A and B are shown apart, each in its own frame.
Chain A
Amino acid sequence: MSRITRNLGLILAVALFVFAAIRPVRRAAAFEEARASLVADIEALRVAAERRVAEYDAWPTESAPGAIPPEVVAAFPGDSSLSGDGYTVEWSVLGFVTTVEQREPTDLPAEAIGVIDSLPATLVSTVRPSGLINVRASDPRILGALLDDYREEGAFVRDSVWSLVLPPPN
């Protein structure tokens, strides 16, 4: 019996161990790759939208899931899309109502200006648009990873959708 035959059991056991060790490592590597790709898409869309609102005081218009808003297409190279292996990024716009007190100016003489503060105030509501990035993912680990990464920025998860609200421009 040759040496290889004698040690066949040990060789098979080592091969099994290597396979068992490599399999989860490869799965973890694939997950990290998908997560990095998704975060890159989110950040690219976020930076492009904020640059757009800083330049034009307007958010990009809503787009279909996985499609890049037409106003920021130039920020993405080539035929990029906002979808990857197991996820889809979606861009939309929300409106936040802001209410401020406003006192109507009167035609009182200058010497009477000091009494303006005593006039009754009127509550005026305005709408300030904000951006919303939604990510639909089938893998809950992706949702958990994104929530962990953006929790401090107000991200939240509902069902299989992760959402991040971008603050309105000041």
Chain B
Amino acid sequence: MARKRKKSKSKKRNRQSKAKASSEATPSEDVEVAPDGVSADVDATDDLDVIDLDAETDGASVDDLLEAASALADEAIVASADTSNDALDQAIETSEAELDETVERIEPGDENDVTVVPLDEDEDITTISLDDDDVTVISLDDEDDDITTISLDDDVDEDAASLIAQALDLDGSGSEDSDAVETEGHADIDPDGSSDTEGDESDDASEGADGPVMTPDALAALRDLRTEGVGSVPTELVLDLGEGGTPEDRDRLLQAALAHVEMQDAVYRVPTETGQRRRFGAAATALVLLAALWVAVAPPSFIVPPTPPAVTDIDRLDGVRIALWLQAQQVEAFRVENGRLPEASGEIGGGLEGIRYVRSNSRQYQLVALTPDGRTLMYDSTSPDPTFAAIAARFSSLHGGSE
């Protein structure tokens, strides 16, 4: 807005300089009314030209008189133009004063309500401050800067922004009944331009005067911005105050900026989290952590399929006995095929390892293996343990009685 003033001043200066140029040019064109040196000086400050028509006119020709009359006519025109410039200067000053009245500073009021106060003439910066954390600055001090940036640092609750935008009927789809937006006991934003609070009537009166007002112009400007793709309640609003913008355009953009700030303020007032909700979140987090610990340490069967039964020591001991019996079968097979006992375990076929073969004599032998607990288990060909007979019977039944 200060830039607007400066532009007005600049225009004023231009016009004044033009007028001055016109007025300065005038004295140099002194009209010689009479050849005897009688002249009429017409300067910029004179509204009345004094012409001595009674002076020595004897020597003047009619043509001189006509020329002098023509010069007077031109001077009258110049004087009229100066008069118009003065009126224009007055008009410019009046407009500038009116413009100063429109430049405002928005400062935080009670409970961060936005208040509007007149801006001093010397101030070039309009500051809109919502609270200590969220500072919004509209900078208009640089004439060369065509872009005014309104920065709102905090994140915007998208849902709240959507709700507010919907309530403000920015997309034009709202009903007539949803004109006002209530924001937690503070300012109500009414498209009709009225401001109201949820509190008592005294608050209504005070805030109605100084509280934030969402004017129809602001809403219209926001609708236009939304149409132009600015979107709903962005965190940063960029307005282009181009050189060719008219004062009406700038007023419109300022209204849009103020409406944007007001909407952001309304967004901030939407309760996003309560103490009860926070406690609920902490409890849910603790429960999930406990469940994660439970699943990690002892996963339940509905999450992890049951693992196969482990091999027990009994199974392993039984396996050693079966292996001894099978190895004895290999020794007997060797004896049947070769008519003698093998000299060493190397002569015994089969894939059973870890069984020690001990030949006592040409007809007797022992097979020794270790049990899982480190004890030795022996198969003596002379008198095998009865458990081996049970194993033989089991294999005989499994293999159809061939053994």
CB within 8 Å of B: which residues of A? Answer: 2-3, 6-7, 9-10, 13-14, 16-17, 19-21, 23-25, 28, 31-32, 35, 62, 90, 92-98, 125-128, 130, 132, 134, 140-141, 143-145, 147-148, 153-154, 156-159, 161, 163, 165, 167-168, 170
- Assembled-state Cα–Cα distance A2/B293 (Å): 28
Chain A residue contacts of B394, Cβ below 8 A: 154
A134 to B291, CA, bound (A): 42
Roughly how many angstroms separate A130 CA and B349 CA in the complex, as a whole number? Answer: 12
Pair A24/B299 contact, Cβ less than 8 Å: yes
Select one of A17, A157, A167 contacting B402, CB under 8 A.
A167
Contact between chains at B322 and A156 (CB < 8 Å): yes
- Are the C-beta atoms of A17 and B288 separated by less than 8 Å? yes
* Closest-CB distance, B338 to chain A (whole angstroms): 11
CB atoms of B402 and A141 under 8 A apart: no
Tell whether, in the assembled complex, residue B281 and residue A10 are in contact, meaning their CB atoms are under 8 Å apart. yes
Cα-based distance from A134 to B394 in the complex (angstroms): 20
| Contacting residue for A21 out of B303, B316, B332, CB 8 A | B303
What residues on B are CB-neighbors of A153 within 8 Å? 398
CB < 8 Å neighbour of B326 from A6, A94, A167: A94
Task: Report the minimal beta-carbon distance from A73 to chain B, rounded to whole angstroms.
Answer: 19
B162 to chain A, nearest CB (A): 14
Measured between beta carbons, the chain B residues less than 8 angstroms from A28 are: 304-305, 307
Query: Once the chains bind, are A95 and B333 in contact (CB under 8 Å)?
Result: yes
Docked Cα-Cα span, A63 to B296, in Å, equals 43
Which chain B positions have C-beta within 8 A of A10? 281, 284-285, 288
Q: Which residues of B contact A92 (CB under 8 A)?
A: 349-351
Asked if A98 and B272 sit within 8 Å, CB to CB, the answer is no
In the docked arrangement, what's the CA distance between A168 and B292, Å?
Answer: 53
Q: Which of B307, B311, B329 has the most CB of A within 10 A?
A: B311
Most buried by B among A7, A35, A95, A165: A95
A2 with B304: CB separation less than 8 A? no
B402 contacts across to A, CB distance below 8 A: 96, 98, 128, 167-168, 170
B273 within 8 Å of A by Cβ?
Answer: yes
The answer, among A32, A128, A157, for a CB contact under 8 Å with B319, is A157
| Distance, CA A2 to CA B159, complexed state (A) | 12
Q: Are B398 and A154 in contact (CB-based, < 8 A)? A: yes
B370 to A, closest residue via Cβ: A159
Is A97 in contact with B354, judged by CB distance below 8 angstroms? no
> How many A-B pairs fall under 8 Å by CB?
151
Is there contact, CB below 8 Å, between B299 and A21?
yes
Let me know if B299 and A157 touch, CB within 8 A: no
List of B residues within 8 angstroms of A19 by Cβ: 292
Q: Which residue of A lies closest to B308 (CB)?
A: A145
When A9-B282, A167-B398 are in contact, do A141 and B310 touch as well, CB less than 8 Å? yes
Q: What 4 additional pairs, Cβ within 8 angstroms, besides A19-B292, A25-B303?
A: A10-B288, A24-B304, A156-B323, A163-B322
| Distance of B377 from chain A, by nearest CB (Å) | 11
Chain B 75-108, CB within 8 Å of chain A: the 1/0 string? 0000000000000000000000000000000000
Given contact pairs A9-B281, A141-B307, A94 touches B329 in the complex (Cβ within 8 A)? yes
* Residues of chain A lying within 8 A (CB to CB) of residue B292: 13, 16-17, 19-21
- Nearest first, the 5 closest Cβ-Cβ pairs linking A and B are A95-B333, A92-B351, A167-B399, A145-B308, A17-B292
Q: Which of A13, A20, A141, A167 contacts B285 (CB 8 A)?
A: A13
Contact of A167 with B315 at beta-carbon distance under 8 Å, contacts A13-B289, A16-B292, A21-B295 already known: no
Given contacts A140-B310, A144-B308, A165-B326, contact A157 B281 (CB under 8 A): no
User: Are A2 and B329 closer than 8 Å at their CB atoms?
Assistant: no
The answer to whether A95 touches B351, judged by C-beta atoms less than 8 angstroms apart, is: no
Q: Does B275 contact A (CB under 8 A)?
A: no
Inter-chain contact A20/B155, CB cutoff 8 Å? no
Knowing A17-B292, A20-B295, A167-B398, the reply to whether A159 touches B354 (Cβ < 8 A) is: yes
Q: Do B326 and A127 have beta carbons less than 8 Å apart?
A: no
B395 in complex: contacting residue of A6, A134, A143, A154, CB < 8 Å: A154
| In the complex, chain B residues 164-213 whose Cβ is within 8 Å of any chain A Cβ | none
**Are B304's CB and A140's CB within 8 A?**
no
A31: B residues at CB distance < 8 A: 307
CB-based nearest A residue for B327: A94
What are 24 A-B interface contacts by the 8 Å CB criterion?
A: A9-B281, A9-B282, A13-B284, A13-B286, A13-B289, A17-B288, A17-B289, A20-B295, A20-B299, A24-B303, A28-B304, A28-B305, A62-B349, A94-B350, A95-B337, A130-B399, A141-B310, A144-B311, A148-B308, A154-B394, A157-B311, A158-B319, A158-B323, A159-B354
